[in-house]
Amino acid sequence: MTRIDAKFAALKEQGKKAFVAYIMAGDPDFETSLEIVKGLPGAGVDVIELGLPFTDPMADGPTIQAAGQRALDSGMTLQRTLDLARAFRETDDTTPIVLMGYYNPIYSRGVDKFLADAKEVGIDGLIVVDLPPEEDEELCLPAQAAGLNFIRLATPTTDDKRLPRVLQNTSGFVYYVSITGITGAAEAQATNVGPEVARIKSATDLPVIVGFGINTPEKSQAIATVADGAVVGSAIVSQIAAGKPIGEVLDFVKSLADGAHLA
């Protein structure tokens, strides 16, 4: 059982919904990013989604693209991202970390070396958005063999014919993308999301967590009400981009987490 599995089992026992926060590793620099990540559990975050900076993102909107570029400009690399996870684990051995990014940096490092290093520093799961199920032998299956969850995205265009393939080797949770498009492009609507979450849950026992388009405590609560939890990324990254003090960023995160936990 990974930390992700244990966290969702505990939340289910408590009758609580999950709150997942996305932070780009190294934005605006290593030290600030690490302090924010260290503060997330105290702000109510159940699972940390740690962005891996990459030069050519596909799913990310302008806000997270800019965060990735700031991180790269500050010298962030895959190795430094793993170093950040290791530093976080020095004081927190229970909060799950999901590394979210693209396959190029992992491929360049070598899958076996990457998985061994990720496991060693305390990464619990992976979201690699440019590897479809047809490529499961590339990373998904080796990751699961190494004890890491491989989390897949389902979208509004994942129809009933495609859904079983998407779910086939998914573990940890299913990440439902609430909108068609990139992060930060539109607002999620619970009335649209609810039926889709129900459809996915009829096909899997995994928790279904909804992300993209959630930017307020009210929206976090509304989405968590119709799912097993909510993910917020761009709205938090915007606070960092605005140069808000770490305490203010974490207060904002707490308001979002409180919203999800009220669901």
Q: 173: domain range? A: 3-262
Which of 60, 136, 196, 228 is catalytic? The answer is: 60
What is the domain count for the chain? 1
Pairing of strands 153-154, 174-177: parallel
The CATH number given to whatever domain includes residue 251 is 3.20.20.70
Mean pLDDT confidence for 15-22: 98
DSSP code of residue 36: H
Which of 5, 46, 49, 228 is catalytic? The answer is: 49
Dihedral of the alpha carbons of 76, 78, 84, 88, in degrees to the nearest 10 = 150
**Catalytic: 135?**
no
What string of DSSP letters covers 12-28? HHHT--EEEEEEETTSS
pLDDT tens-digit map of 219-263: 999 999 999 999 999 999 999 999 999 999 999 999 999 999 999
What is the pLDDT confidence band of residue 81, given thresholds at 50, 70 and 90? Answer: very high
pTM > 0.85: yes or no:
yes
What is the pLDDT confidence band of residue 186, given thresholds at 50, 70 and 90? Answer: low
| Backbone dihedral angles phi then psi of residue 177, each to the nearest 5 degrees | -85, 115
**Catalytic: 60?**
yes
Neighbours of 171 (CB within 10 A): 19
